[in-house]
Amino acid sequence: FNHQPSSIAANAKDVLLFSAFCRQHHIRTIRGKTLLRFMTWLHDKRNNCSGTINRKRSSLCMYFRHLRLMQIPGAKELPVESLPRARDAYRGPVKVLEPDEVSNLLGSIDGASVIARRDFALFTLQYSLGLRLGEVLAVDIEDINFRENLITIHGKGRRERTLPLVKHIVSLLQEWLIFRKALLGSDESEALFLSKKGNRLSLRAAEENFQKFVTPIEALKDRHIVPHTLRHSFASHALENGDDMNKLVVLKAILGHARMKSTEIYLHPSITLQRKAINDHLSSDILAELREKRTGIFRIQSTRASAKAG
């Protein structure tokens, strides 16, 4: 039902893990409390975050619905719909890079070699459009429409979105396509970003390359900076340039979020933006007027007090 092969494989792996859990704990009959016990085990013993636990929960829900359709005895009575979702404690604002830090990071990528030019184009494209790393690596040459300056992004759940390309990104991609010809397998592969061996660049290789650029930068030392940080930074910087709801709606479309709730995690403005909002707020004008009036009254009272004293 419109599920990617990778998703189906992940679902099957989750069900097998649950099966192994039941065997390990000598569970012969599956009840509602069995599922709760499994989720607790994932958190306590495997240190899974809420997102991972909820994915496994979803896999089990789909599996038991399948068992219902197959009319397996007992499947109908299992309360999978009422199984609660795992939740993390509030972690605070999303960690992002400041604009000058993004500039320094991307600027540190030496453009002398073809591989360096590839990485510069890759991570610049990711930041400029707020893409997930997997989405950048999935781009094919045919996904780029240079005539209309558009690019098709293949997002989660086979959701596609078309985004506009600004002039400097168009120029960057056109330049990269020229250097790309020097890589092995460039004529056979449609992938925009290739490895040295001529295959589509893998997620792991891209992540490792990214860390090579982050590590030497002293200002980023002891900070957890990963490629996804560029996506977070794009979102945060986009919101700092606007203050209306329409900005959030547009950002949701750009990032490819299925729910507004996913976009709302970026509603944590910086101190600079908070200061500007407070300074520009009507309350500042009201306070300034009140202070002026009170200062005037204080001056009159001070003058009268001085005259009486004299």
Cβ–Cβ under 8 Å, residues 139 and 200: no
pLDDT tens column, 224-235: 899 999 988 888
Give yes or no: 266 in active site: yes
List, for residues 264-275, the tens digit of each pLDDT value.
655 555 545 545
Out of 55, 65, 228, 268, which one is annotated catalytic? Answer: 228
Q: Respond yes or no: is residue 127 known to be catalytic.
A: no
- The single residue of 56, 180, 231, 252 carrying the catalytic annotation is 231
- Kindly list the distances between the CA atom of residue 284 and the CA atoms of 276, 281, 295, in Å, as whole numbers in the listed order: 11, 6, 16
**221, two tokens:** 């030392």
**Residue 257 a catalytic site member:** yes
Single out the residue of 240, 265, 271 nearest to residue 90, CA to CA. 265
Q: Which residue has the higher pLDDT, 239 or 40?
A: 40
248 phi, psi to nearest 5 deg: -70, -40
- Catalytic annotation present for 76: no
Tens digit of pLDDT for each residue in 139-156? 999 999 999 889 999 987
Confirm whether 55 is a catalytic residue. no
Full DSSP string of 260-306: HHHHGGG----HHHHHHHHHHSHHHHHHHHHHHHHHHHHHHHHHHHH
Give me the catalytic one of 13, 76, 156, 294.
156
How far apart, in whole angstroms, are the C-alpha atoms of residue 71 and residue 28? 19
Query: Which residue among the candidates 57, 127, 237, 266 is catalytic per the annotation?
Result: 266
Query: Would the pLDDT of 246 be above 70?
Result: no
Question: Is 231 one of the annotated active-site residues of the chain?
Answer: yes
